[in-house]
Amino acid sequence: MEYRELSVPGAWEITPKQFGDPRGVFLEWFKNGPFVEAVGHPLDLQQANMSVSAAGVLRGIHFADVPPGQAKYVTCPKGAVLDVVVDIRVGSPTFGRWDSVLLDDTDRRAIYLSEGLGHAFLSLEDDSTVVYLCSAGYNPTGEHGIHPLDPEVGIDWPTVGRDGTPLTYQLSDKDTAAPGLSEARDSGLLPNAAAVAEWLSDQKRR
C-alpha cells in the first residue's frame, strides 16, 4: 500500500497492492498502520456511506464546519470517478488549489481528505459506486457546498466518460444553488486554516 500526498496538503492518494489469481483479486483497501504512518493519527470512523451514480453525475464540492469537520477515505469498487479535493481553508498558502485522483475498479486506488478540505467527484460510467469512510456523521446544519463548476476554482472536469461517450453533467438542486468560492469565503462559510491546523493538532495528541 503506497501513500502519495497530493498538491493540496492534507490529502493523499492511496494505491493498494492487488493479488490476483484465476479466482479473482484480493486487496486491502484500508489498513490502519500505513494510514497512521502517513497521516499522523488514526481514522476515527464514525460513519460509512455509499453512493451509486449514473455517468455525468457531479457531486460536490462539499465540506463541513471545523470543528469537528469530516475527514473522508474514499474508493470506487465499481465503475470509475474522477475524485477531486479542493483547498478551501482561508489563509492557506494553497487556498483555491485543487488536485484529483482517478478512482476505478482497475487500479482500485483510494483518496483520503482530512478535515477542512472540499470534496467532489464526477461519475465516468453508469452505476459507478463510491464508498466513504467518514470521521463524523452527517450534520445537515454544519455541511455546505461550493459550485463544482465555479470558474474561480477551475476544475478541469472530463468531458467524456470511460467509454469515450460525451458527458452531460448532472447536479443536484443543492449543488446547483451552491455559491462560488469567493462568495462562500466572503460570507464566512469556509473553514479557517489556523483553526483547522489547531483541530488536527489536537487530534494527533489524543
Structural domain harbouring 62: 2-204
**Cell digits of residue 98:** 485543487
- pTM value is 0.95
Please give the Cα distance from 119 to 100 (Å, whole number): 10
Report the mean per-residue pLDDT for the chain.
Answer: 96
Q: How many domains does the chain have?
A: 1
- Between the two ends of the chain, the Cα-to-Cα distance in Å is 25
Rg (CA), the chain: 17
The residues annotated as belonging to the active site are 62, 132
Q: pLDDT (tens digit, 9 = 90+) per residue, 3-56?
A: 999 999 999 999 999 999 999 999 999 999 999 999 998 999 999 999 999 999
Strand blocks (E) in the chain: 2-5, 11-15, 18-21, 24-27, 47-53, 58-64, 72-78, 80-87, 98-104, 110-113, 117-123, 128-134, 143-145
CA angle 102, 108, 109 (to 5 degrees): 55
Percent of the chain with pLDDT over 70: 99
Share of the chain above pLDDT 90, in %: 93
Q: What is the pLDDT of residues 45-97, one digit of tens each?
A: 999 999 999 999 999 999 999 989 999 999 999 999 999 999 999 999 999 99
Which CATH number fits the domain that encloses residue 120?
Answer: 2.60.120.10
pLDDT bucket at 204, cuts 50 / 70 / 90: confident
Q: Which residue has the cell 470558474?
A: 151
Neighbours of 56 (CB within 10 A): 19
**pLDDT at 143 > cutoff 90:** yes
C-alpha cell at 123: 461519475
